[in-house]
Amino acid sequence: MIQIAVLGYGTVGSGVVEVIETNKADINKKAAEDLAVKYILDLRDFPGDPYESKVVHDYNIILNDPDVTIICETMGGTKPAYEFTKQALLAGKSVCTSNKELVAAHGPELLKIAREKRCNYLFEASVGGGIPIIRPLNYSLTAEHIDGITGILNGTTNYILTKMDKEGVDFDEVLKEAQEKGYAERNPEADVEGYDACRKIAILSSLMSGKNVNYEDIYTEGITKISSADFKYAKQMNKSVKLLALSRDTEDGFFAMVAPFLISREHPLYSVNGVFNAVYVHGNMLGDSMYYGRGAGKLPTASAVVSDVVDCARHQGKTIMCFWDEEKVEVADRKRARRKFFVRVPADKREAAMGAFGALAEVNVGLAEEFAFMTQEMSEAEFDEKMEKIGGCLNRIRIMA
Ligand code: HSE
């Protein structure tokens, strides 16, 4: 019998208990041993809950119980999750987590402790919710040199952008509706400003490079400036706007970014709609592969946590290899990245825009008060210089090649 503790009985934590209960027979067979939830740590009590008797408020009870060998950390945030995780690993207990903030901030340090203590720190649920993406990167694609990852890694923003695209409504209106339906947090900053996607691409980029990509080095823009007018133009160009998180390992350096991009109908990520997430991976032998599914939600995320629990059960006393060292990756200045841009300026800046950009392709959707165009490919630095000459714009969106 393998005894488990769950830290945090919120959405994901209660999902973990539910997944273990619902799929008990299958999971026990796959783990080759029976799994049982011994403790649930939470500040609250849960009178009437079937697991009420398992709830404890003192972490030391879990830490000091030698029967508990696997801990599911579903608390979120770094305090006190960092201390709790570190203490568990130092005590030789494996930790399975959905906590992307903690993995992005302290992943390599916690992995190192797990290696030293011959246990595991697993984080399949931290990126893409229920989509298997960490395990493919760690196990299945080990024969590849992965040189590109492009992801739709945030369900909230993808839901908002999809609604804007399909229904022609503006950002504020969709956000309000998403909040009412519970798809967006009351404080939506981490999602709509791209911070959540930034942490997730930092984790994937680190696994891609085998070294540490610091999330603070990743240039991040959210979706708050995207308007219904942008979608009118996007449609005219047979494109849509998606919040993309990407990293590229090139001869010119390692580039990573989170920003809204115009993406054409032919791109596989174009059809990833609503709360779904997808990760598009390029390897030098395999070429492209894509991983798609529910990137958030109680049971999909919990399912990924429990898959890690099964992996821990199968590897007791052994550390599963994870290539993520503490050595830092120098993330290249985004200004050196080259791409095309879509730009909207007030109509009276038409001449200035044509002067600054030279060859450009006008996009017309009948909005007389503005002039919109696609640029040639250029570096972000060149683009910024030209925009400075024009003196600003209504909006500009990067175009995915
Ligand atoms: N807020 C996140 C999202 C939850 O919308 O994708 C999953 O990490």
Q: What is the pLDDT of residue 247?
A: 98
Cα-to-centroid distance, 315 and ligand 1 (Å): 29
**Domain membership flag for residue 306:** yes
Q: Do 105 and 200 lie in a common domain?
A: no
CATH code, domain with 20 = 3.40.50.720
Q: Which residues are the active-site residues?
A: 200
Q: Do 263 and 343 lie in a common domain?
A: no
Q: Is 288 helix (H, G, I), strand (E, B) or coil?
A: strand
Q: Do 151 and 288 lie in a common domain?
A: yes
Taking phi over 0 as left and psi of -120 to 50 as alpha, with beta for the rest, 72 belongs to beta
> Residue 370 is part of which domain span?
336-399
Burial class (CB in 10 A: 0-12, 13-18, 19+), 32: exposed
Cα-to-centroid distance, 156 and ligand 1 (Å): 6
Q: What is the pLDDT of residue 183?
A: 81
Give the number of domains in the chain: 3
**Domain membership flag for residue 47:** yes
Q: Are 37 and 6 in contact (CB under 8 A)?
A: yes
**Domain membership flag for residue 302:** yes
**Domain membership flag for residue 368:** yes
**Domain membership flag for residue 329:** no
Three-class SS of 337-400: CEEEEEEEEEHHHHHHHHHHHCCCEEECCCCCCEEEEECCCEEHHHHHHHHHHHCCCCEEEEEC
Which residue from 196, 201, 275 has its CB within 8 A of the most atoms of ligand 1, so it is best to mutate?
196
Q: How many helices (H) and strands (E) does the chain have?
A: 14, 17
Q: Do 167 and 273 lie in a common domain?
A: yes
**Domain membership flag for residue 122:** yes
Dihedral Cα 220, 191, 305, 73, nearest 10 deg: 90
Angle at 58 (CA atoms; ends 113, 314), nearest 5 degrees: 45
Per-residue pLDDT of the chain (401 residues; tens, 9 = 90+): 999 999 999 999 999 999 999 999 999 999 999 999 999 999 999 999 999 999 999 999 999 999 999 999 999 999 999 999 999 999 999 999 999 999 999 999 999 999 999 999 999 999 999 999 999 999 999 999 999 999 999 999 999 999 999 999 999 999 999 999 888 889 999 999 999 999 999 999 999 999 999 999 999 999 999 999 999 999 999 999 999 999 999 999 999 999 999 999 999 999 999 999 999 999 999 999 999 999 999 999 999 999 999 999 999 999 999 999 999 999 999 999 999 999 999 999 999 999 999 999 999 999 999 999 999 999 999 999 999 999 989 999 999 99
Q: Is 156 in the pocket of ligand 1 (CB under 6 A)?
A: yes
Q: Do 160 and 226 lie in a common domain?
A: yes
Q: Which atom of ligand 1 is nearest to the CA of 296?
A: 7
Q: Whose CA is nearest to atom 8 of ligand 1?
A: 296
- Identify the CA nearest to 149 among candidates 284, 5, 281, 327: 281
Q: Do 161 and 92 lie in a common domain?
A: no
Instruction: Round to whole Å and give the CA distance between 289 and 372.
Output: 34
Q: Do 172 and 276 lie in a common domain?
A: yes
User: Strand pairing partners for 337?
Assistant: none
Q: Is 155 in the pocket of ligand 1 (CB under 6 A)?
A: yes
Cα-to-centroid distance, 300 and ligand 1 (Å): 12
Residue 268 has a CB neighbour count (10 Å cut-off) of 14
Q: Is 191 in the pocket of ligand 1 (CB under 6 A)?
A: yes
What is the radius of gyration, based on Cα positions, of the chain? 23
CATH code, domain with 378 = 3.30.70.1150
Domain edge (last residue) among 255, 281, 314: 314
Q: Do 159 and 281 lie in a common domain?
A: yes
Instruction: Round to whole Å and give the CA distance between 342 and 80.
Output: 44
Q: Is 196 in the pocket of ligand 1 (CB under 6 A)?
A: yes
Q: Do 281 and 177 lie in a common domain?
A: yes
**Domain membership flag for residue 323:** no
Q: Which atom of ligand 1 is nearest to the CA of 159?
A: 5
- Identify the CA nearest to 27 among candidates 17, 40, 14, 39: 17
Q: Do 283 and 187 lie in a common domain?
A: yes
Q: Can you read off the two tokens belonging to residue 104? A: 């992005």
Instruction: Round to whole Å and give the CA distance between 142 and 155.
Output: 28
Which residue from 12, 131, 134, 154 has its CB within 8 A of the most atoms of ligand 1, so it is best to mutate?
154
Angle at 283 (CA atoms; ends 278, 285), nearest 5 degrees: 140
Instruction: Round to whole Å and give the CA distance between 130 and 292.
Output: 9
| pTM flag (> 0.95) | yes
Q: Do 289 and 304 lie in a common domain?
A: no
CATH code, domain with 263 = 3.30.360.10
Q: Can you read off the two tokens belonging to residue 61? A: 């009870």
**Domain membership flag for residue 150:** yes
Q: Do 151 and 37 lie in a common domain?
A: no
Dihedral Cα 92, 95, 99, 103, nearest 10 deg: 50
